[in-house]
Amino acid sequence: MLHDMPLDDSQTCHPMFREVPPTVEFNKLRKRLLRQARQAIEDFGMLRPGGRWLVALSGGKDSYGLLAILLDLKWRGLLPVELLVCNLDQGQPNFPKHVLPRYLESLGVAHRIEYQDTYSIVTDKVASGNTYCSLCSRLRRGHLYRIGREDGCSSLVLGHHREDILETFFMNLFHGGRLAAMPPKLLNDEGDVAVLRPLAYSAEADLARFADAMGFPIIPCDLCGSQEGLQRNVMKAMLDDVERKMPGRKDTMIRALTNVRPSHLLDRKLFDFAGLDLAAAEAQ
């Protein structure tokens, strides 16, 4: 079991961690993120020893943090899978093509850089003033599934974190009229690639602090121009406001998503309300 294995640092480490801050605060942050990732991997049955994972790297803080945590776990012998890092260059103007391959090569990390001009497709299909993110994400995911198949990867690993899951839940609640979040594990429509989110329990603020301390060469997600006014940003602001007023509520909300009681909701497909029989219940 993952939680039975030691987490103590050894005298060696993965090259990514050779120049990390030698502080107690950073060490605690690093170990917290490792514990949370290990717990998510175990809770949701993500690990199949001997498998191969395609790790999507966008160049943002979350995907860098995901890669670092997975490499750290693998270095410690806690993640018996092969990792292949993939960046999908989507043809955004001014994208710094050299940053990611140079960084990954310096660390000796196996990687694949794939160029697909989805940017032109998105700007052609999406009306001026509307947001690109939804279509851009769908196109990117399709290419990543294909790349995973081509390279023999059973799983696509993404850097979505606790806040991404909560924001998705409230977007579905407020705008979709359904109780649904972002699952930590799912199968694609074809059923041949699993999508994994090992950072499901990890806080965005922790990942931001981790990225700063690690000195990742961040590529900002503003290459498509301004995308202000996204509903996700509204959800993020709402959740941050709740957390400021009532610290710890985000963790409580994540726990709530693991503790669903269909009999106390209104979905007749999940619970047989019509079949409740008072007399039968009293006789038991």
235 found inside a domain: no
The answer to whether 208 touches 167, Cβ cutoff 8 Å, is no
265 found inside a domain: no
The answer to whether 192 touches 149, Cβ cutoff 8 Å, is yes
215 found inside a domain: yes
Rounded CA-CA distance 37/134 in Å is: 26
Please list, in sequence order, all residues whose beta carbon lies within 8 angstroms of the beta carbon of residue 159, skipping any fewer than 6 positions away.
Answer: 56, 58, 60, 62, 63, 64, 65, 66, 197, 199
212 found inside a domain: yes
Partnered with residue 54 across adjacent β-strands are 84, 156
241 found inside a domain: no
37 found inside a domain: yes
84 found inside a domain: yes
The answer to whether 162 touches 66, Cβ cutoff 8 Å, is no
Q: What pLDDT score does 137 carry?
A: 75
Residue 38 to residues 66, 154, 224, 246, Cα–Cα distance (Å) = 12, 19, 34, 27
Question: In this predicted model, what pLDDT tens digit does every residue of 230-247 receive, in sequence order?
Answer: 788 899 999 999 999 999
Rounded CA-CA distance 112/62 in Å is: 19
Question: In this predicted model, what pLDDT tens digit does every residue of 69-81 receive, in sequence order?
Answer: 999 999 999 999 9
Residue 219 belongs to domain spanning = 2-230
The two beta strands, 194-196 and 185-187, are: antiparallel
pLDDT truncated to tens, each residue of the chain (284 aa)? 444 445 555 456 788 898 899 999 999 999 999 999 999 999 999 998 889 999 999 999 999 999 999 999 999 999 999 999 999 887 777 788 899 999 999 999 999 998 877 777 776 666 666 666 666 777 788 889 999 999 999 999 999 999 999 999 999 999 999 999 999 999 988 888 999 999 999 999 999 999 999 999 998 776 554 454 478 889 999 999 999 999 999 999 999 999 999 999 999 999 999 988 875 555 55
Q: What pLDDT score does 279 carry?
A: 59
Reduce the DSSP state of residue 257 to 3 states and report it.
Answer: helix
Q: What pLDDT score does 1 carry?
A: 45
Give the domain CATH number at 102. Answer: 3.40.50.620
Q: What pLDDT score does 237 carry?
A: 95
161 found inside a domain: yes
Query: Phi/psi zone of residue 92: left (φ > 0), alpha (ψ -120 to 50 degrees), beta?
Result: beta
Total tally of structural domains belonging to the chain: 1
Q: What pLDDT score does 126 carry?
A: 67
